[in-house]
């Protein structure tokens, strides 16, 4: 029974040694913990591959209008002439040709490649916007709750519990049409931006709790540290305490949770679009495309293949990168 | 003696409520009515074992903790309950050095930022710029000013403690509360830091409240010493008084418990029995009586006041101070009086308080014998 | 002890003659030329580099050194607690005539607890918070006495608690570690270590986390228990005062190497190594001139990855320039104080008398000591 602490002692002894050696080994210029993490990240092959892939995806999304120009086809252009009498694309593999790299949608005859590029844009925009908003809300509320404690902490905790108790899917299913109805009425044409906005809002309402809890816990752990007291003893105010003293020490977990939240929002967006509460057919989106493709699973399997593989690669790359980031920022957690 | 005190503490107390759920079930009297003064340029040592409230006191002096009652006057101004903004000008004169050289520096800040923090927080722009002032401070505490851009993890424990000292000096304070500043350091480094603090104290004319559990370190640093036990000061006096003429039995016991390099083999020391009782429910009367070899009935009923003796410089809170019956030999009496029964009836943790190690030694002998036999029986 | 069964030869021995010879000699623990290396990201850490010593039953060896001197790593190697994947251990460790280095995990585990046990600095982290103290002690007993009944183990645990001076042991048996005070917890930890009556007890800073008055109790207890059980004790500490009180022999370590070894009288009264001098003169004392500066060792402890060449202490040694450059180039061997050349490594564990690893000549050391250190009035 007494063995595990023993080994803990042994490890602590060993682990403290490299730390102690650091000053002697280095030159006059100090390396910040952030720089050390960056060095570790650069040495990690998974991080490199997934990082390059992510940058590629982001460039694709950013350059969508440019690609549209070069490619010569817009996301809403229909090529009815390339469909047969049943609305199925002519040719092999869903109509893959030199002009239409990933083929055409059955029915409307829109180009799948350019819709994927724009879908990527939609997905990444929604996911990043939602992750940013949730992270901001979570960091601010969590840090305040953790640092101030008392009644404020109790209220935030209560709200967090309440939010967590609400069933996300049901509320999203109920809320989205209601809000849309409220703004656009029975027959109004819903704009694409509005759908995106509603989605982001829904994610923001439900997504901030995990970051808030994480940050609150970290802040509580740091609050009792003596460097925080030192700042207090010098008369530092709330803003200085939170933003200068505390936050720099919890960037690592925030960053990791951010990098893991993005793929989660990508899949959530796809899922919501899939069940029809998300975006309108107008806006190119992975979920929407997969939903549409289900009718043609037998007759045109290529239609489900391209968006499917795309969303898989995107989420996979994000998750791999997030894990690599965690290892780089907190090397002890992986051992 | 003639100077007005820089720091005047009267009846200072801190009680922490103990909660179970939402109900307060008790009160930890961590600090319970302290009176002391610190004059400009004077060093006062606050000594005691863990749980005696010395750290809580230090935190209250720099207002990191809110006192429950009593008053703290600094430079003639009552700072017991003033808010952060009114406190700001005084902050500059009142700084703190922490015990843990690892936790007390923000790991994400460079040394330059750490030392400059008090200046920035208070919006002070020293002539020549912040960087010049910080480098001057680093040099003052014996660090290489070129290490300005390094991070704390690149320094050893002793160097980190020097950084903490530089930070405390940044605002040119008049009084520094040093909370066990050397107890986390290796022996050889400890001496470096004590010497540094002594030099700074003399050069800059700083007043110190030096909190420590090590009476030997305090002797090398402090002109006056206050010995604390369970939230009270039991004895206060000049260094010579405390170390050469201790009057409180606890002070004597503490002094004799310090392992002395110059004496080899088991020392003929006073054996205090048991641990410090919990401050949740301290013993009635004199709080030290459960471990005291001189305790009598009056000690359980009347709390001794901190009374000045020997012309007023040394004060002792004891019904039977050493000076008056100098012939008492604690070693002899410790064996004869057994506080066990009495302790068991009043102390909340009778088991802790009422232990006589020697009695246990003889009592346990048969068990030991049995043990050896049983080991031999085991087939291996 | 009951270690009559021959050492299982888990692995073919490189020195076939040596263990057989030594099995009958006096010392219970014999460590010779122990080297422990860790491979880390930043390089190879030579935590222990050629350390030899022996401890007889009934004797206490004090290992003194600062953090990173390799003293704890040595003790963990004796207990076989290093992770074999990350650690390379060479040399010999014989416990009761049995080789520990290279022994299969299962075999070491059987030795551990029964033949040798350890007391830690922080008993709170060494005791499991979710089991009662008594249950943990009883279980430690049953691990090595599988035939003992639950009731017998319980009785044994209660006896041990009683033996280490815990009042009302039967009631304390059912309490959890958090219900014990610091001193009581350390006593319980000692009870747990001794429950199988080990012949070798390793105490790693057993009193560092305790108050001085409680430290005195625990040191007394250890001495009493040793007298009764006739065990060999290794006491690891940074406090020379503690060593002076309880140790018979002293080993001073620096940078993973032994720099001085001898009886407690020899090392504390006539220290030979400048590092030992430094340790002694930097300890604040209760005697002598309180206003005099302490004499610290300059600089900081070295990194074990990047140990200075030659004598590891030379960058901090005040006398390094007197050796004509040998300090920088040549690792001094541990040899008898007045001998010119080194004892061969094989006999080093057994070598008695006062050994030192220093390039300075005996006469020169004596002169320097008389002039610079003894005058300060440290060791008398």
CA-nearest residue of chain C to A18? C42
Total Cβ atoms within 10 A of residue C344: 9
**Residue range B126-134: average pLDDT?**
90
* Dist. CA C123–CA C72, nearest whole Å: 16
Asked if the Cβ–Cβ distance from B364 to C159 is below 8 Å, we say: yes
DSSP structural state of residue B135: H
Residue with tokens 């980190």: B160
Q: Is the pLDDT of residue A13 over 50?
A: no
Partner residues linked to B94 by β-bridges: B175
pLDDT given at position A119 = 85
Report in angstroms the alpha-carbon separations of C278 from B269, C91, C271, C328, C370.
Answer: 27, 30, 10, 19, 14
Is residue C362 within 8 A of residue C265, CB to CB? The reply is: no
Which residues of chain B make contact with C185, given a CB cutoff of 8 A? none
* Dist. CA C131–CA A2, nearest whole Å: 12
Residue-wise pLDDT for B248-291, tens only, equals 999 998 888 888 777 776 666 677 877 778 888 888 888 898 88
- Best CA proximity match to B215, nearest among B264, B180, B165: B180
- What percent of chain A has pLDDT above 70? 82
How is domain B7-241 classified at the CATH fold level? Rossmann fold (3.40.50)
Give the pLDDT band of residue A324 (cuts 50, 70, 90). Answer: confident
Is residue C214 within 8 A of residue C41, CB to CB? The reply is: no
CA-nearest residue of chain B to C291? B220
Give the pLDDT band of residue C29 (cuts 50, 70, 90). Answer: very high
Mean pLDDT, chain A, whole residue set: 78
Counting one residue from A and one from B, how many pairs have CB atoms under 8 Å apart? 92
Residue with tokens 């369970």: B230
Q: Is the pLDDT of residue A323 over 80?
A: yes
R_g over Cα of chain A: 25
ipTM of this predicted complex?
0.80
A279 three-class SS: coil
pLDDT given at position A27 = 40
Domain presence at residue A314: yes
**Residue range A206-228: average pLDDT?**
90
Q: Which residue would you say has higher pLDDT here, B360 or C74?
A: C74
Which residues of chain C make contact with B267, given a CB cutoff of 8 A? 245
Q: Which residue would you say has higher pLDDT here, B165 or B20?
A: B165
Give chain A's end-to-end CA distance (angstroms, integer). Answer: 22
Which residues of chain C make contact with B368, given a CB cutoff of 8 A? 163, 228-229
Strands C116-119 and B69-74: unpaired
Tokens of C54: 């022996």
**Chain C nearest C-alpha distance from A21 (Å):** 5
pLDDT given at position C122 = 79
Q: Domain locations in chain B?
A: 7-241, 242-367
Domain presence at residue A30: no
Q: Domain locations in chain C?
A: 125-196, 272-376
- Listed in sequence order, the residues at least 6 apart from B254 whose beta carbon sits closer than 8 Å to its beta carbon are B47, B49, B215, B227, C212, C213
The rounded Cα A216 to chain-centroid distance in angstroms is: 21
The whole-model pTM stands at 0.79
pLDDT given at position A197 = 85
CA-nearest residue of chain A to C305? A21
Choose the closest CB to C241 out of B156, B260, B374: B260
Tokens of B293: 């070899």
Is residue A278 within 8 A of residue A287, CB to CB? The reply is: yes
Q: What dihedral angle (degrees, nearest 10) is formed by the CA atoms of B221, B224, B225, B226? A: -140
**Chain B nearest C-alpha distance from A248 (Å):** 6
Residue A277 domain boundaries: 60-334
Q: What dihedral angle (degrees, nearest 10) is formed by the CA atoms of C282, C283, C289, C295? A: 0
Give the pLDDT band of residue A331 (cuts 50, 70, 90). Answer: low
Choose the closest CB to C213 out of B156, B187, B253: B253
Tokens of C29: 């623990």
**Residue range B325-350: average pLDDT?**
39
Chain C interface disruption, residue of A5, A7, A10, A327, most C CBs within 10 A: A10
Number of domains in chain A: 1
Domain presence at residue A42: no
Phi first, then psi: give them for residue C112, nearest 5 degrees: -70, 135
CATH number of the domain bearing residue A237: 1.10.3720.10
**Chain B nearest C-alpha distance from A7 (Å):** 23
- Best CA proximity match to C97, nearest among C27, C50, C9: C27
Window from B4-13, B225-234, C216-225 with minimum mean pLDDT: C216-225
Choose the closest CB to C221 out of B239, B351, B357: B357
Total Cβ atoms within 10 A of residue B24: 11
**Chain B nearest C-alpha distance from A216 (Å):** 18
DSSP structural state of residue C121: S
Which residues of chain C make contact with B271, given a CB cutoff of 8 A? 216-217, 220
**Residue range A299-312: average pLDDT?**
81
Establish if C299 touches chain A: CB-CB under 8 angstroms: no
Asked if the Cβ–Cβ distance from A230 to B150 is below 8 Å, we say: no
Residue-wise pLDDT for B362-376, tens only, equals 333 333 333 333 333
CA-nearest residue of chain B to C221? B357
């Amino acid at each position: 029974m007494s063995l595990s602490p023993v080994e803990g002692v042994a490890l602590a002894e060993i682990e403290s040694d490299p730390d102690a050696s650091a000053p002697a080994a280095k030159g006059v210029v100090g390396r910040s913990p952030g720089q050390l993490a960056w060095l570790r990240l650069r040495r990690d092959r998974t991080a490199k591959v997934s990082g390059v892939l992510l940058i590629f995806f982001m460039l694709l999304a950013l350059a969508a209008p440019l690609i549209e120009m070069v490619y010569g086809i817009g996301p809403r252009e229909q090529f009815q002439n390339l469909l047969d009498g049943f609305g199925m694309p002519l040719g092999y593999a869903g109509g893959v040709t030199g002009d239409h790299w990933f083929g055409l949608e059955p029915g409307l005859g829109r180009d799948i490649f350019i819709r994927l590029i724009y879908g990527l844009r939609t997905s990444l925009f929604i996911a990043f916007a939602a992750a940013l908003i949730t992270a901001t809300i979570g960091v601010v509320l969590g840090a305040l709750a953790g640092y101030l404690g008392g009644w404020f902490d109790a209220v935030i905790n209560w709200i967090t519990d309440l939010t967590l108790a609400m069933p996300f899917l049901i509320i999203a299913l109920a809320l989205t049409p209601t809000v849309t109805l409220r703004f656009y009425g029975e027959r109004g044409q819903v704009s694409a931006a509005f759908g995106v906005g509603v989605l982001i809002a829904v994610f923001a309402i439900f997504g901030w709790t995990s970051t808030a809890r994480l940050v609150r816990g970290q802040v509580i752990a740091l609050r009792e540290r003596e460097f925080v007291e030192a700042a207090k003893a010098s008369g530092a105010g709330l803003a200085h305490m939170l933003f200068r003293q505390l936050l720099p020490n919890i960037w690592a977990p925030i960053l990791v949770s951010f990098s893991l939240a993005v793929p989660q929002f990508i899949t959530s967006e796809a899922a919501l679009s899939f069940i029809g509460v998300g975006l309108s057919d107008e806006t190119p989106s992975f979920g929407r495309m997969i939903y549409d493709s289900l009718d043609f699973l037998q007759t045109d399997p290529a239609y489900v293949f391209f968006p499917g593989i795309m969303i898989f690669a995107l989420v996979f790359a994000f998750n791999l990168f997030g894990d690599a980031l965690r290892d780089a920022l907190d090397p002890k957690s992986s051992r | 003696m003639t100077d007005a005190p820089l720091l005047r503490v009267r009846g200072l107390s801190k009680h922490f409520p103990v909660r179970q759920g939402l109900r307060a079930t008790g009160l930890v009297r961590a600090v319970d009515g302290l009176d002391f003064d610190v004059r400009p340029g004077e060093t006062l040592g606050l000594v005691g074992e863990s749980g005696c409230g010395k750290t809580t006191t230090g935190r209250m002096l720099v207002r990191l903790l809110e006192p429950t009652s009593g008053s703290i006057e600094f430079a003639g101004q009552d700072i017991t309950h003033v808010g952060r903004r009114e406190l700001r000008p005084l902050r500059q004169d009142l700084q703190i050095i922490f015990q843990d050289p690892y936790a007390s520096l923000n790991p994400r800040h460079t040394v330059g930022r750490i030392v400059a923090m008090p200046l920035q927080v208070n919006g002070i722009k020293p002539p020549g710029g912040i960087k010049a002032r910080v480098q001057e401070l680093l040099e003052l505490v014996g660090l290489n000013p070129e290490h300005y851009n390094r991070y704390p993890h690149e320094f050893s424990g002793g160097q980190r403690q020097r950084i903490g000292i530089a930070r405390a000096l940044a605002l040119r304070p008049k009084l520094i509360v040093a909370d066990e500043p050397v107890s986390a350091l290796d022996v050889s480094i400890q001496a470096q830091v004590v010497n540094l603090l002594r030099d700074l104290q003399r050069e800059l004319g700083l007043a110190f409240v030096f909190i420590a559990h090590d009476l030997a370190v305090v002797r090398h640093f402090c002109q006056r010493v206050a010995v604390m036990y369970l939230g009270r000061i039991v004895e206060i006096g000049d260094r010579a008084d405390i170390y050469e003429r201790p009057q409180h039995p606890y002070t004597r016991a503490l002094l004799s418990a310090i392992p002395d390099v110059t004496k080899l083999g088991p020392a003929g020391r006073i054996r205090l029995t048991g641990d410090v009782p919990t401050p949740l429910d301290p013993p009635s009367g004199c709080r030290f009586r459960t471990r005291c070899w001189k305790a009598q009935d009056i000690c359980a009923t009347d709390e001794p006041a901190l009374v000045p003796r020997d012309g007023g410089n040394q004060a002792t809170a004891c019904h039977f101070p050493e000076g008056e019956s100098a012939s008492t030999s604690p070693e002899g009496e410790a064996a004869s009086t057994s506080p066990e029964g009495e302790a068991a009836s009043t102390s909340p943790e009778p088991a802790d308080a009422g232990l006589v190690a020697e009695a246990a030694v003889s009592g346990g002998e048969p068990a030991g014998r049995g043990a050896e036999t049983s080991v031999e029986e085991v087939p291996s | 002890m009951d270690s009559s069964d021959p050492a299982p030869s888990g692995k073919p021995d490189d020195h076939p003659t040596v263990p057989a010879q030594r099995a009958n000699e006096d010392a219970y623990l014999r460590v010779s030329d122990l080297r422990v290396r860790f491979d880390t990201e930043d390089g190879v850490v030579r935590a222990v580099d050629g350390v030899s010593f022996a401890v007889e039953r009934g004797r206490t060896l004090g290992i003194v050194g600062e953090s990173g001197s390799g003293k704890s790593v040595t003790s963990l190697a004796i207990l076989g607690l290093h992770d074999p994947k990350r650690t390379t251990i060479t040399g010999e460790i014989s416990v009761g005539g049995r080789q520990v280095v290279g022994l299969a995990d299962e075999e070491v585990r059987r030795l551990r607890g029964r033949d040798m046990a350890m007391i830690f600095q922080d008993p709170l982290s060494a005791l499991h918070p979710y089991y009662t103290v008594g249950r943990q002690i009883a279980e430690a007993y049953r691990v090595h006495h599988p035939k003992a009944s639950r009731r017998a183990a319980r009785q044994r645990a209660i006896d041990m608690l009683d033996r280490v001076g815990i009042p009302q042991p039967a009631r304390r048996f059912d309490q959890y570690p958090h219900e014990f005070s610091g001193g009581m917890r350390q006593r319980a930890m000692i009870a747990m270590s001794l429950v199988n009556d080990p012949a070798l007890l390793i105490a790693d800073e057993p009193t560092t986390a305790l108050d001085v008055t409680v430290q005195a109790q625990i040191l007394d207890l250890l001495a009493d228990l040793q007298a009764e059980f006739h065990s060999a004790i290794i006491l690891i500490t940074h406090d020379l005062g503690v060593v002076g009180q309880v140790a018979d022999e002293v080993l001073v370590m620096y940078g993973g190497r032994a720099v001085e070894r001898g009886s407690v009288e020899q090392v504390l009264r006539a220290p030979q190594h400048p590092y030992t001098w430094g340790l002694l003169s930097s300890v604040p004392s209760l005697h002598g001139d309180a206003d005099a500066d302490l004499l610290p060792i300059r600089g900081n402890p070295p990194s074990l990855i990047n140990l200075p060449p030659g004598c590891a202490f030379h960058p901090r040694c005040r006398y390094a320039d007197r050796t004509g450059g040998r300090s920088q180039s040549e690792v001094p061997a541990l040899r008898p104080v007045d001998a010119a050349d080194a004892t061969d490594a094989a006999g080093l564990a057994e070598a008695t008398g006062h050994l030192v690893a220093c390039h300075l000549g005996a006469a020169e050391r004596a002169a320097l000591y008389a002039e610079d250190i003894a005058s300060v009035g440290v060791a008398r």
